[in-house]
Amino acid sequence: MLLLRASELTGRPVVTLGGELLAEIKDIVFGRTGGRIAGFTLRNPGLFSRARKDSLPWSGVHSVGRDAVMVSDETVLIPAKELAPRKQARKADVLADRVLTDNGRDLGRVVDVVLHSGISLDVVGYEVQASEALGTAGRRVLIPLPDTVAVSGENLIVPSAATEFISEDLAGFGAAVGAFRSWLRRGSS
């Protein structure tokens, strides 16, 4: 399981298979359902670059590598308003949202999103600034997510059992996500 933080994609170049630099990733747009990435808003390359009026839908991504996001060519780009209308873009931003368990326990606030890069780019967890309820107040911890995530206003709801699979490092987090999802599939027994 290849895991990365969403913040690692910001600034990553978008390059065609022919080697042409098209843009840089500005922000990630999360899908309205499930734990999927809808695509990316873009900016022009360079230090003082501006946001672009086009965006990259996930369907246009050929691959996500360590150094770049690859696309077949510039024809995969779409108008930014089609990918993320302003109202939806504000609702899709989970940074600083509070993470609560389904029984109301406050786990902390989201500081980053953990992604699995494979056939699709899936949200598999949140990196949170832990609350006192976790006993690790102030430290950053990784909380695994089920295949679908509930959102209620500015709160993100996770099963209370997720706390048993919390990790403090990205290296071991893939196993924690797998174990948590297996536990959920077995019927939480």
The whole-angstrom separation of Cα 141 and Cα 172 is: 12
Contacts with 35 (C-beta within 8 Å, 6 or more apart), sequence order: 122, 123, 124, 145, 147, 148, 149
Whether domain 2-92 has CATH 2.30.30.240: the reply is yes
Report how far residue 189's alpha carbon sits from residue 176's, in angstroms, rounded to the nearest whole number.
17
Instruction: Give the pLDDT band (50/70/90) at residue 129.
Output: very high
Q: Where are the domains of the chain?
A: 2-92, 98-185
Considering only 16-30, 41-55, 56-70, 146-160, which range has the smallest mean pLDDT? 146-160
What type of residue sits at position 47? L
Q: Which residues contact 148 (CB under 8 A, 6 or more apart)?
A: 33, 34, 35
More confident residue, 147 or 129: 129
DSSP string computed for 143-169: EE--SS-EEETTEEEE-GGGGGG-BS-
Instruction: Kindly report the pTM of this predicted structure.
Output: 0.80
